[in-house]
A = this chain, B = another copy of it.
Amino acid sequence: MVADSPVLALSGGVGGAKLCLGLSDVLEGGELKVVVNTADDFEHLGLLVCPDIDTLLYTLSGRNNREQGWGLAGETWQAMEALAALGGETWFRLGDRDLATHLWRREAISRGQDLLDLTAQLAATMGIESEILPMSAQPVRTRVHTPEGDLPFQHYFVKHQCQPAVTGFSFVGLETAAPNPRLMQLLLEAAPKAIVICPSNPFVSIDPILQLSGLWPALRDCPAPVIAVSPIVAGMAIKGPAAKMMAELGMPVTAEAVAAHYRVTYPGLIDCFVIDESDATLAPRIEEQGMATAVAATVMHSDEDKRALAAEVLRLASGI
């Protein structure tokens, strides 16, 4: 089935999921299609852990833990506590209820289901009307380059708590991974009304998606306007290590530098770059560099904030 004029959103985990929740609230059921990063998935304790997919699932189904900022509401930690007593690896905290998702996914994979189908099934079971599209059925794995060597993403992100300085990234498997065919079908056949690049980490959440074979040119060539929301606000990342990474990579920690990264890496892709009100003075400079810019309230605390930003992004798209 190809829905008419959907909105496509490209998202990583927590930050992107906030805007996706706003979009799913202001759109009709099923209009939102979220293309989600899988490059920070990892095999752990014999399970396939997909942090960004699960954050989307938990957020869009209202199961997420809002206080903690990740994981499930009402989570318990008996398994991790018992695993710690056995001397097992507990640096990546898997809650008891979250474990069920990973056990279910492993079982689905062992039955021959691919990540795309089983994610659709999880979303349906959780009552999510939006489509959640893993960027690829094939594994892509981010490696974070540091002066002391490469680290798998979750080792960098969780085990080492983003301490090592970052010198670059590579995405193992990217060359041979095919973009989710459902996404390519939507781009060609469904006449999307907007493509939204969520305020996720440009380097480890959005780049792995856009650099899948043929993907970003297909997004560029699709008639739908492409709107990107800056994850950097007033020189800080709202969530995660984006700001720290930019500093270590020798970039200014500004929304302008994010715009430049997207403009240089994906020329002609972005039709409108949305920056926060607190960065309004940067707008003329970004525009000068050839990228149309809009100013909005991009910091999302409440659900109302999320809906307001979503509505503004859609309004901007409809004007292009």
Report A's interface with B, CB cutoff 8 A.
45-47, 72, 75-76, 78-83, 85-89, 95-101, 103-104, 106-107, 110, 122, 125
Q: How far is the CB of A62 from chain B (nearest CB, A)?
A: 13
Specify which of B46, B78, B81, B97 is in contact with A106 (CB 8 Å cutoff): B46
- Asked whether, in the complex, the Cβ of A79 is within 8 Å of the Cβ of B100, the reply is yes
Q: Report the bound CA distance from A254 to B157 in whole Å.
A: 63
Most buried by B among A76, A81, A104: A104
Chain B neighbourhood of A45, CB < 8 A: 103, 106-107
Extra contacts besides A78-B100, A86-B101, A88-B107 (8): CB < 8 Å: A46-B47, A76-B96, A78-B95, A79-B96, A82-B98, A85-B100, A86-B125, A87-B104
Chain A residues touching B, majority SS: helix
CB neighbours of A97 from chain B (8 A): 78-79, 81-82
- A87 to chain B: which residues have CB within 8 Å? 104, 125
Q: Give CA–CA (A104, B79) in the complex, Å.
A: 10
Contacts of A110 in B (CB 8 A): 46
Copies of this protein in the assembly total 2
Bound Cα distance from A103 to B45, whole angstroms: 6
Output the residue of A85, A86, A125 with the most chain B CB within 10 A: A86
CB nearest neighbor in B for A75: B78
What are the residues of chain B within 8 A of A101 when measuring CB–CB? 82, 86
- Whether A78 and B96, one on each chain, are in contact in the complex, defined by CB atoms closer than 8 angstroms, is yes
Expressed in whole angstroms, the Cα–Cα distance for A100 and B83 within the complex equals 5
Complex CA distance for A104 and B89, rounded to whole angstroms: 8
Q: Is the CB of B104 within 8 A of A83?
A: yes
Rounded to whole angstroms, the CA-CA distance of A188 and B261 in the bound complex is 72
The residue in A79, A97, A106, A125 that gathers the most chain B C-beta atoms within 10 A of its C-beta is: A79
Shortest CB distance A66–B (Å): 18
A97 to B88, CA, bound (A): 13
Asked whether A82 lies within 8 Å of B96 as measured between CB atoms, the reply is: yes
> Can you list 9 A-B contacts (CB < 8 A)?
A47-B103, A76-B78, A78-B95, A78-B96, A79-B103, A82-B99, A82-B101, A86-B104, A88-B100
A107 & B46 in contact (Cβ 8 Å cutoff): yes
Chain B: minimal CB distance from A302 (Å):
28
With both chains docked as a complex, state the minimum distance between the C-beta of A91 and any C-beta of chain B, in angstroms.
Answer: 13
The residues of B that contact A125 with a CB separation of less than 8 Å are 85-87
A105 to chain B, nearest CB (A): 9
For A103, the chain B residues whose CB sits under 8 A away are 45-47, 79, 83, 88
CA gap between A266 and B123 in the complex, in Å? 56
> Across the interface, do A86 and B47 meet the contact criterion of CB distance under 8 Å?
no
> Which of A95, A96, A125 has the most chain B CB within a 10 Å cutoff?
A96
